[in-house]
Chain A
Amino acid sequence: MPEAATRIEPTTFPMLPSSTVIGLFSLLHITFASLAVAFIILAPIFEWRGQANRFYLEAARSLTRFAMVTFSTSLVLAVFVVELLIGLFPLTNSWIFNRFRYPIYFACSAFVLGLLLLQAYHHFWEPIRRRNPGLHLTLGFGGACLMLTWVAILDGMGSSMLTPVETSSPWENLLNPTWIALVIHRLFGDFVFAGFALTGYAGWMLGRREDPAETLYYGSLLKTGFYIGTAALFIQPATGLLYALRIQEAVPKAFHQAVQGRYQPLVYLQFTLVALLFVENHLLLNGARTNPSALLSAFEKKRLGQRGSLWGEGALLLSALLIVVFAAHPWPRRFFTLILLALSAYFLYLNRQNLSTAGAKLNRPTVRRSAVALGISGLLLYWTMGIIRETARRPDTVLGKISLKEEAGAPKYFVDLRAVRPETESRAAGGADQVPEGPGIHLSGPSPPH
């Protein structure tokens, strides 16, 4: 190793371990990015539905505005993550970008085009819609498809760090065992978080607004967000099972480490949050139909005669509790998740009429609090699942290829030419009169005074 390279200390971040620093910025980034991805997909769908219902048109515009306003922040946070990766984990960074160079070109092209379409979709909303609503919808759907392409390729890079494949083709690196499963699981995860974030935001705003028109808008937004989040939540156990089975099949050790290893408390935290989402979901449903002041309306006497008996609700709570208890035991946990899912679906079916006609009824403390709790739990769950995936690889950064220990050393490729070309030192002292030759310069011909 050249002498100068050894004189530079490896890059470190003060107070915090390198993984934690990258983790913090990644969590901040995915908070905005996951919402943006889901909103960009939902916006044109809402706009399409807005032909019959004005609410959806307003909601579509709000979702797009949020995605575009937070776009730069999210991107700069992504730059932070990449820059930290370059500085703190240079080997991993080199490996990823070298192995995925062609997919990255493709993803970047998709992103540029998507960005252009979405800028036009958002900033020229009215003019384009006035002239050609179909074109505007096409811009929205086109932008969403291109953003999905970008996200899918990034997931390919992320998944290959856990399940890398031995190949010399950059495209085949993308086709690692957990790629598709991760893309699907992440996409529905985005919808869970985005749906419940909308629910939480609408619940919070309902408590701050007294204007009937605004109450109606936020009531509708709460319902819509709730339906989106709940639908995705019901699908997520299946996509999660697919992803878990793929990991178990490809890298059993990593799966075992995630579920049974030193980071096991994170798994318990994850299933506690999953259980909370189901319970809060149920509380919101109950809140929409019963006494406005009751938080745990299931235990009120007056509800004993109503549909959805205490027994059913007790079973729902018990199964929620049991998925936490059996968090580290996959098959019993999956069994109780199925029961929880079935009961939740049953109660949603029973309450479908209440919710669809709720309107102003939703502006109640129980509903608002449950809605905000759903938003917070959704975010915490998203963060927890992101962390679990990363811990499964430790102490490797790319499983079986690059370890944290290797990253801690100073790279060899730093070369200080002054160490091998001492004459350049004298050049600075000689000033402008001396013009020595560099490695690529060949001075020739007359050099008259200038």
Chain B
Amino acid sequence: MRLVAAADPGTPDLRSPDRFLWWLARAQLPNLVEGAAYGVLWMGALAALPLILGEAVEAAAQRRPAEVLAWSGALLALGVFAALAGVMRHRRAVANYLLAASRTQQLIIRCAARLGADLPRHVAAGEVASLSATDVDRIGSTFDVTGRFAGSVFTYLAVSAVLFVMSPAFGLVAVVGGPLTLLSLLACLRPLAHRQRQQREAIALASGQAVDVVGGLRVLRGLGGEAMFAARFAVAAERVRDAMNRTAQMAAILTALEALVPGGFLVAVTWIGARMAEQGQAGPGELVTVYAFAAFLLVPLATFGEAAQSGSAGRVAAGRVLTVLRRERELREHQPEFGAPLPTPFELSQGVLHDELTGARVEPGLLVAITSSDSEALTELADRLGRYVDPPPRARVTLAGRSLDELPLELVRETILVVDRDAALLAGPLSSNLDPNGGEPAGARPTLRSAIRAARAEDIVAGLAGGMNHNLPEKGRSVSGGQRQRLVLARALRAGPPILVLEEPTSAVDTFTESLVVENLRGLRSGLTTVVMTTSPLLMERADQVLVLDGEIVAAGTHQQLLDREPLYRTLLERELS
């Protein structure tokens, strides 16, 4: 058994949920076959126990102690064999679950990597979370049950056949009772699954409220409202209780069925068996065998029900996974002509960055501030400059005379780094977070230490337990908004892209620190192109050039020039300062 993740999950068959599941199955076919084989051996041994037990009782009835001991020994041997086959089956089942689940996880992350910035725009993170937790689990379970399913098919048929041979009446009980039981089990399983889903929803709602309260606890404890929230939560908890009760009601019917079915079988076979015994056609041994068979038959029948349920849940889950896996990248990407020479990022950065829609021109090697009273417009401009959106028709964004959408995306990303307002820190050690690509400082890349110093983030690093080795939780939740801003800036500086576009890089930083950061930014990026989208007078004052955006670029010049001759700029600043 090789329980190892695939080095490469391969290219899945996305045509339909069934084809996807089949594609997964093919990749682990040997394991599935072995699981089925062990399932047959295991359940076959369990099904054979009643036969041996019957022989032992028969021998006892005949008062032949030696034979009794021999049969007892056989019983023990068969039991040990069943236990061993059972654990082998279990091992294959776990592997089947894990191989399918891990492969699906690997496909999901590859899809997320391919879609990049597109994905969060179209798929809520919570949705993917439930994909990677719930749906992957369901797909895994579909494969988990296969071994037991195979064993159940085999033993149900085999036991029915043995019963037929013993007496057609016994066989009839199994053949008629089996499907009846299965139908009633399925009739319960479906509503049970439905109620369990409702219960999960109710629980999610209550957990959501608890999370909400915890998240806003400082506000809550500072302002009040404890009684109100406790009352609201009581309602949600009550709803969970009701949902749980409804689930329990359905589960109770299943429990009752589990008592009724073998009970009914027992009554039938005891009656038939006793009549046969009366006529001398069956001895005590047969009676015991048939009785034990009747108790055993519920196991394959219940497994059929479970397999049917997890099979259909698995298909639904596969369908949901496919909706994400099928997504295509929205950005048009031109494949460069084969053999056509591509410029290097450095060569590109020596040219002008020009947005035709607004007329914004960024000269190479300068620190350019772009300001506007409309922060949305600044964000849109940054997205265009970094090519996170396709340019509008007939309004290209060019760099060194070449249209950005005709360059490979990879090259654009290497040349231009846009740090958006929501730039996130990632889980993991701080050092690899701030310096994910590592490497020696060279050209535009300063050392990590000087990048951190320039962003005035040393005190943050010093304050975190473990310093640079501090393990950030997901999305860097252990640092505040202002600290995140400075760490993100340090990361961008260390990355040292030829062109750096920063959106409001110092909005959450105090004025004292801001003025130092801006000075360091100038020093560290001297000779390199840096664009800041900002409304901070401090940043504008220190920039080589300020562009004023009002629909399009309406004024350009140094801070002082604009102050002197542009009334619009003065109004903008006055509003900022007054």
Q: Do A and B bind each other?
A: no
